[in-house]
């Protein structure tokens, strides 16, 4: 994919989708700044055989100063940043009547504002590295209405439209900006209070599998997101910008007519 030797920053890299993306990009030969606020968990995300191209870094994406320090370190060491993957996120599942506004603000600050702060901080370095690319990890929850996900869905919808706006504004600088919108992905975010997967419940099987609401018939893995991200960062995607690539096993396709 022509990524070898290039430098990328991935946020939310300690686990789940972010860890899978970071490992995949390292496997493609990139120098990977795997960044997360949870540095202890980040230590466990390193791939087998990790070398000098795997660079763990602590960062709080809701703190502009923390981001600026990390970007300065990247600039000092490499002088370039060819790719930025805004993946860090937090989940909230609250009905409107139960909504805690302070938590709502934390979700938006992490899932939407954090991505913007990373772009603002890294922009000059990304410009100096052009052609370069930004990939925002959105969600199908930002493209459809749900009854208990106002904070998360609102932030992800904003991230999708921010992707479009950034793509138009940064195109003249040879910076492409795209998003990936995962569907049901079996990561820690999909775990219930007892530690089991929400995709193993009878309700999930009844609604999404029995009636083929999920056409491919199973949830995805974090690695199913990592491949598309690598593609969008690569020169193979050089004529793609402003696009949101849905990776959802067909979930958002029209519902089968047999469902009543």
Residue of 33, 101, 104, 152 marked catalytic: 152
Give me the residue label for tokens 């992490």. Answer: 110
Give me the residue label for tokens 């925002």. Answer: 136
Which residues, in sequence order, are CB contacts of 160 under 8 Å at separation 6+?
A: 136, 138, 142, 143, 179, 181, 244
User: Which DSSP letter does residue 99 get?
Assistant: -
Gyration radius of the chain over CA positions: 18
Q: Is the dihedral of CA 66, 69, 71, 73 positive or negative?
A: negative
Which residues, in sequence order, are CB contacts of 4 under 8 Å at separation 6+?
A: 28, 29, 30
152 is catalytic: yes
Helix, strand, or coil (residue 185): strand
Give the span between the Cα atoms of 83 and 118, in whole angstroms: 12
Q: Which residues are catalytic?
A: 152
């Amino acid at each position: 994919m022509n990524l070898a030797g290039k430098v990328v920053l991935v946020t939310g890299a300690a686990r789940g989708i972010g860890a899978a993306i970071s490992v995949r990009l390292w496997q493609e030969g990139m120098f990977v700044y795997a960044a997360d606020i949870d540095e202890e968990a980040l230590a466990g995300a390193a791939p087998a055989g990790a070398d000098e191209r795997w660079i763990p870094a602590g960062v709080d994406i809701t703190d502009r100063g923390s981001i600026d320090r990390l970007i300065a370190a990247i600039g000092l060491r490499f002088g370039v940043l060819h790719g930025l993957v805004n993946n860090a996120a937090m989940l909230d599942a609250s009905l409107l009547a139960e909504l805690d506004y302070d938590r709502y603000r934390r979700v938006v600050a992490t899932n939407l504002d954090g991505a913007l702060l990373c772009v603002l901080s890294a922009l000059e370095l990304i410009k100096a590295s052009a052609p370069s690319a930004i990939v925002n990890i959105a969600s199908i929850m930002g493209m459809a209405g749900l009854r208990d996900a106002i904070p998360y869905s609102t932030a992800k919808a904003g991230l999708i439209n921010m992707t479009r706006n950034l793509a138009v504004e940064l195109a003249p600088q040879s910076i492409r900006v795209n998003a990936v919108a995962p569907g049901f992905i079996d990561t820690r975010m999909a775990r219930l209070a007892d530690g089991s997967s929400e995709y193993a419940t009878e309700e999930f099987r009844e609604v999404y599998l029995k009636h083929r609401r999920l056409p491919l018939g199973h949830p995805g893995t974090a690695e199913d997101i990592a491949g598309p991200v690598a593609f969008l960062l690569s020169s193979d995607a050089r004529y793609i910008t402003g696009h949101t690539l849905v990776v959802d096993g067909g979930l958002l396709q029209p519902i089968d007519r047999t469902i009543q």
